[in-house]
Structure 1
Amino acid sequence: MAHLLGAEALHLEFPTRVVFDSVSLGVDEGDRIGIVGRNGDGKSSLMAMLAGRLEPDSGRVTVRGGVRVGVLDQADTLDDALTIAEAVVGDRPEHEWAGDARVRDVIAGLLGALPWEAPVRDLSGGQRRRVALARLLCEDRDVLFLDEPTNHLDVEAIAWLADHVKRRWAPGSGALLVVTHDRWFLDEVCTKTWEVHDRVVEPFEGGYAAYILQRVERDRQAAAIEQRRRNLARKELAWLRRGAPARTSKPKFRIDAANALIEDVPEIRDGVSLRSLAVSRLGKDVVDLLDASVTYPDALTGRERTVLHPVEWRIAPGERTGILGVNGAGKSTLLGLVSGEVEATSGRVKRGKTVQVATLTQRLDELEEHLDEPVRVVVGGLRTTYTFGSGSKAQELTPGQLLERMGFASAQLSTPVKDLSGGQKRRLQLLLILLEQPNVLILDEPTNDLDTDMLAAMEDLLDTWPGTLLVVSHDRYFLERVTDQQYAILGGHLRHLPGGVDEYLRLRALEEREGAGPGTTSSEPAATGLSGAERRSAQKEMASLERRLEKLERSIDSARAALADHDQSDYVGLGEEMAKITAMEAERDEIEQQWFALTERVG
């Protein structure tokens, strides 16, 4: 592979600490590199040095002649005097940029809902971020540096971005370096992972899942070093391997090695125990939305606008549900009905007598009254011990142990809340809410400002939390990891997604192709026009297809495992085995399409 840029003996030092000490790296044609590590360990600084935005204290960065580098950093550099069109395509004539397929794709994928001639000064922070990303992607660059590109993007836009960067360059050409906490994006796009830690950069082959496996191996060899971190990584690996078929087929490592590592790792959650404990805390009734709808007066037209059409949703004890939908679809309104902050215009909301709802919002309101207090005082003032988990797995934790579990070092326990980083404040906010012992927890974009290790720690904490959990998040990995089912708000209707996030993206793409506008797919069962007998027959066929899919997945996994042990010099035999696997995958895809079509009919 041709060399694009490299770093030799980089040293970077801030007044209070050394960030990097003699780091040497190289970026070649075709590299797709994800950069991970704890907040504050130097991910953005590394990217800034490689991109020429930050001078190292010693060492050097070399770039091959003629290589064009593009950077998306976290700073907002847009000119308020420009329109969106001027910010994205500059002064290029319309016939020129409109004739460029890449530019059209970027505009449709990131800016489709924004007025093309709107002034930049009137945009929100999230909209400005989209414009900055679109401007970069419309340029011809050999190397792209993206620092948190998924911030302010919804699930649909993140999926588009992943597809775009995978198709942007021909195989073996161009290079991408990305810092992001979105683990799904890392696994979907990256072929290499760099972990930044302890003044060094450690390279791993493969995306996020492969990185997790190799990190577990590294930690195993180091015996007792970072015991807790290793256990969290193994638990996460177990979920990755037991997750959706699309994920288990991606990691670039031997499947039998992964299975050997997780054979003694239990399921991430003891669902039976948690539901039993949830029933004992909540009773059988949690929150029922009974034909509840919400209508608001439209400020522009003065007419009534229905945000949520009649919703029938009976939330169960211990239920773990993710809510999907484009911005403005009504997710916050739906959660407001559950929490009691929003009144139903018609229908009714019924709550169990023992229900205590707590909401983790995108604001940090819970911390306002504690800004001048040390972290230890804030947590210790609530309770002396805390119990997490149930039955034989229940744990009694002191405030200090609880804070340590969420990544607070001993030195940070005496730090005033106002001096904490954004990620630390976010973790403390979640802890304060959990310590109030709610039995219904609503998480609204909980992953903001958290690095991948802290996201894993949060997920581990939620695994032992015995209550009903409702989550809104654009972080696909987190959503799939902590919830057991997903719903979407489409056209003001609440719709169950048996196929999860993939089904949601397919439905949204279908709407776009049909030109129907966002959310026009109805979710009302009556709209399907099926009789009771037809519905039962369709459900029976769906169950049959699911069994066939499970059998095919096992066969594909076995074939891939056997392929890894096949004589690599036997090209004819390898080709025949690959052909068999390809045929099984094609059959699986066809069955999945049949299953999706049936879910459309059933509703």
Structure 2
Amino acid sequence: MAHLLGAESLHLEVPTKVVFDSVTLGVAEGDRIGIVGRNGDGKSSLLMMLAGRRDPDGGKVTMRGGTTIGVLDQADKFVDGETVGNAIVGDRPEYEWAGDARTRDVIAGLVKDLAWDAPVDSLSGGQRRRVALARLLVGDWEILALDEPTNHLDVEAIAWLANHLKRRWPQGQGALLVVTHDRWFLDEVCNTTWEVHDRIVEPFEGGYAAYILQRVERDRQAATIEQKRQNLARKELAWLRRGAPARTSKPKFRIDAANELIADVPEIRDRVSLQSMAVARLGKEVVNIVDVRVAYGDREVLDDVTWLLAPGERTGILGVNGAGKSTLLGLISGDVEPTSGQVKRGKTVKIATLTQQLDELEEHLNDPVRVVISRLRTSFTVGSGSKAQELTPGQLLEQMGFASAQLSTPVKDLSGGQKRRLQLLLILLDQPNVLILDEPTNDLDTDMLAAMEDLLDSWPGTLIVVSHDRYFLERVTDQQYAILKHHLRHLPGGVDEYLKLRAAEERESEAAGQQAGFAGSSAAASAQQISESSPASALVLPPGSAERRAVEKEQQAAERRLAKLDTEVKKLHARMADHDQSDYEGLGKIGDELRALEAEVNETEERWLELSEQLG
């Protein structure tokens, strides 16, 4: 593969430590590299040095002449007063960007629900992130450097982005560098993983599952790696191989060795013991939601919802932003009253919610971490049955990644990830028996996510999770529900089923929109006939003329052809995704067919625009 980008003997220091010391790396065509590591170890700094956005203190970064690189920062910056459309396509004329297949695909995939002339300043964080992504992806780049691209994106947008990146470049061309804590995304997109740790960058072949497998083997052979970290990785590998075996289909190394390595690792959760403990703590009745409807004025949010939460139930909730997920959580916690229907909670139920706002820490900001924890409980039980274990607050903090020196740090001086972990510990130490997690993975690196998952594996209670992190959702819950068209629907097929249902909803909406568009076109044509005598219509073909009928007929034929071409393009994309990725000749033929179709689409669209101008 042709070399694109290289780094030689990189050295980087910050006031308190050396981040990198003599790091040498290379990026070639076809590389799709995921960068992982603990918060603060230098992932974003490495990405920005490679992208030319940050100068190293030593060493150099070189790029092949003429190579273009597009960069997505963690901060989404826009010009004051800039509109969505201007932010994405600038001042390019509509016929130019609308005729570009990639631009149309990006706009449809990321911002189709946003008003084109809406000020970016008025958008939510998630909407601004999508606009920033769209602005970058409409460009033609040989290398993309993405820093946390999935932040604030929902499950659908993350799935779209993964699919876009997989087919953005032909096989063996282009390069991707991505820093993300989204492990599903890493598995779906990357063919190489770089782990940043201890001033070095260690490469691994394959995506996240492959990286975990190789890291476990590395840790097993290296006696210097701490036992706790090894056990977490082994446990996660057990889930990857048993719960989702397709995840490890990409690596080229032997799977038999991995199976032998985890042969003695038990199932990630002892469901029988946890269920028994949950019943003992909760009784048989937890929260019963029966025939509930919730509306705010004329806006209906939930309708005909019935859900009987069981002791020990572990459920994930999916839905687009604004679908009613927070309202559903509010019904469970008691913060939302139903417009109609009934919500009944068991007498022994004690509900706690891990919110996105870090509210639990407000009163403790000036206190050291050790003092905050010691005020609550002297011990905490993890595990169940014969494996139950009493941990002191200090041991629990250590399990969640707090070093002994950090125990004396005031809460206000902790990083975002440390505050998130402390927030969860405060809630668990209060011993609730129903736990609601609202986007719990924010600000956590992959190792800390694994530690949180390990802690939740031994937690005996009813767990409700709302998260855009697909990996986390599938890892800690046993079933998923979705809010679709105001109704709560069970998803036996999990997240994949949800994405299929949402795609079907989108197709229905598009079909309805096309019908409305045709009706609008007819009304516009009638208005045109009324004002036919005006000077502005001097170049428009007169109604009823033979020339106009011929043009109308040709335009209708062009519309039918565009619809057919769109279907054929989607089929080719599906063929390319399902095709053997090592069959370069076969992929090349599919790519040739795709380019020929896209060229015909462009020609047909240009002709349709010409005909539209003649019809007025």
Q: Please tell me the TM-score bracket, short chain as reference.
A: 0.7 to 0.9
Matched residue, 2:142: 142
2:415 aligns with one of 415, 421, 427: 421
Q: What's the secondary structure of 1:85's corresponding residue? A: helix
Matched residue, 1:66: 66
Is residue 2:398 matched to residue 1:399?
Answer: no
Is residue 2:488 matched to residue 1:460?
Answer: no
Matched residue, 1:229: 229
Is residue 2:202 matched to residue 1:208?
Answer: no
Q: For the residues of structure 2 that align with 1:133 and 1:463, how far apart are their CA atoms?
A: 35
TM-score, normalising length: structure 2: 0.82
2:210, 2:248 within 8 Å by CA — same for their partners in 1?
no
Following superposition, the deviation at residue 404 of structure 1 comes to 0.1
Matched residue, 1:593: none
2:286, 2:349 within 8 Å by CA — same for their partners in 1?
yes
Q: What's the secondary structure of 1:489's corresponding residue? A: strand
- Structure 1 residue identity aligned to 2:388: A
2:205, 2:251 within 8 Å by CA — same for their partners in 1?
no
Note the 1:157-168 alignment, pairs <5 A: 157-168=157-168
1:145, 1:178 within 8 Å by CA — same for their partners in 2?
yes
Q: For the residues of structure 1 that align with 2:246 and 2:500, how far apart are their CA atoms?
A: 14
- Structure 2 residue identity aligned to 1:36: V
Q: For the residues of structure 1 that align with 2:511 and 2:499, how far apart are their CA atoms?
A: 14
Is residue 2:481 matched to residue 1:487?
Answer: yes
2:97, 2:103 within 8 Å by CA — same for their partners in 1?
yes
Distance of aligned partners of 1:151 and 1:32 in 2 relative to their CA distance in 1, 3 Å threshold: same
Q: For the residues of structure 2 that align with 1:422 and 1:393, how far apart are their CA atoms?
A: 32
Note the 1:237-316 alignment, pairs <5 A: 237-244=237-244, 246-297=246-297, 304-316=298-310
Q: For the residues of structure 1 that align with 2:437 and 2:232, how far apart are their CA atoms?
A: 21
Matched residue, 1:197: 197
Matched residue, 2:9: 9
Is residue 2:156 matched to residue 1:132?
Answer: no
Matched residue, 2:565: none
Matched residue, 2:363: 369
Following superposition, the deviation at residue 253 of structure 1 comes to 3.3
Q: What's the secondary structure of 2:261's corresponding residue? A: helix
Distance of aligned partners of 1:420 and 1:517 in 2 relative to their CA distance in 1, 3 Å threshold: farther
Matched residue, 1:334: 328
- Structure 2 residue identity aligned to 1:341: D
Matched residue, 1:474: 468
2:314, 2:464 within 8 Å by CA — same for their partners in 1?
yes
Matched residue, 2:53: 53
2:8, 2:61 within 8 Å by CA — same for their partners in 1?
yes
Using the TM superposition, name which of 479-488 and 251-260 deviates more.
Answer: 251-260
Q: For the residues of structure 2 that align with 1:311 and 1:115, how far apart are their CA atoms?
A: 32
Q: For the residues of structure 2 that align with 1:285 and 1:9, how far apart are their CA atoms?
A: 62
1:386, 1:396 within 8 Å by CA — same for their partners in 2?
yes
Using the TM superposition, name which of 383-392 and 321-330 deviates more.
Answer: 383-392
TM-score, normalising length: structure 1: 0.84
Following superposition, the deviation at residue 393 of structure 1 comes to 1.0
Q: For the residues of structure 2 that align with 1:106 and 1:239, how far apart are their CA atoms?
A: 34
Following superposition, the deviation at residue 516 of structure 1 comes to 6.3
1:434 aligns with one of 412, 428, 449: 428
- Structure 2 residue identity aligned to 1:44: S
Q: What's the secondary structure of 1:515's corresponding residue? A: helix
Deviation string for 1:300-320 (max 9, x for gaps)? xxxx22210111111000000
Q: What's the secondary structure of 1:60's corresponding residue? A: strand
Matched residue, 1:24: 24
Distance of aligned partners of 1:169 and 1:492 in 2 relative to their CA distance in 1, 3 Å threshold: same
Following superposition, the deviation at residue 251 of structure 1 comes to 4.1
2:111, 2:130 within 8 Å by CA — same for their partners in 1?
yes
2:72, 2:149 within 8 Å by CA — same for their partners in 1?
yes
Matched residue, 1:188: 188
Is residue 2:364 matched to residue 1:349?
Answer: no
Matched residue, 2:442: 448
Which has more radius of gyration?
Answer: 2
Is residue 2:296 matched to residue 1:322?
Answer: no
Q: For the residues of structure 1 that align with 2:121 and 2:511, how far apart are their CA atoms?
A: 27
1:360 aligns with one of 341, 350, 354: 354
Using the TM superposition, name which of 36-45 and 254-263 deviates more.
Answer: 254-263
Q: For the residues of structure 1 that align with 2:172 and 2:134, how far apart are their CA atoms?
A: 24
Deviation string for 1:227-273 (max 9, x for gaps)? 11111001101101112354353444322122111111100000000
Runs of 4+ in 1 over 3 A off after TM superposition: 248-253
2:304, 2:487 within 8 Å by CA — same for their partners in 1?
yes
Q: For the residues of structure 2 that align with 1:252 and 1:362, how far apart are their CA atoms?
A: 40
Is residue 2:489 matched to residue 1:503?
Answer: no
Aligned residues: 513
2:206, 2:250 within 8 Å by CA — same for their partners in 1?
no
Q: For the residues of structure 1 that align with 2:308 and 2:68, how far apart are their CA atoms?
A: 55
1:242, 1:248 within 8 Å by CA — same for their partners in 2?
no
- Structure 1 residue identity aligned to 2:410: P
Identity rate, percent: 81
- Structure 1 residue identity aligned to 2:352: A
Q: What's the secondary structure of 1:91's corresponding residue? A: coil
Unmatched runs of 5 consecutive residues or more in structure 1: 298-303, 519-570, 572-603
- Structure 1 residue identity aligned to 2:376: L
Q: For the residues of structure 2 that align with 1:234 and 1:102, how far apart are their CA atoms?
A: 41
- Structure 1 residue identity aligned to 2:505: E
1:388 aligns with one of 382, 390, 398: 382
Matched residue, 1:550: none
Deviation string for 1:383-430 (max 9, x for gaps)? 111112211111110111000000000110000000000000000000
1:34, 1:193 within 8 Å by CA — same for their partners in 2?
yes
- Structure 1 residue identity aligned to 2:421: R
Q: For the residues of structure 2 that align with 1:248 and 1:27, how far apart are their CA atoms?
A: 23
- Structure 1 residue identity aligned to 2:280: S
Q: For the residues of structure 1 that align with 2:328 and 2:250, how far apart are their CA atoms?
A: 35
Following superposition, the deviation at residue 198 of structure 1 comes to 0.2
Unmatched runs of 5 consecutive residues or more in structure 2: 513-582, 584-616
- Structure 1 residue identity aligned to 2:247: R
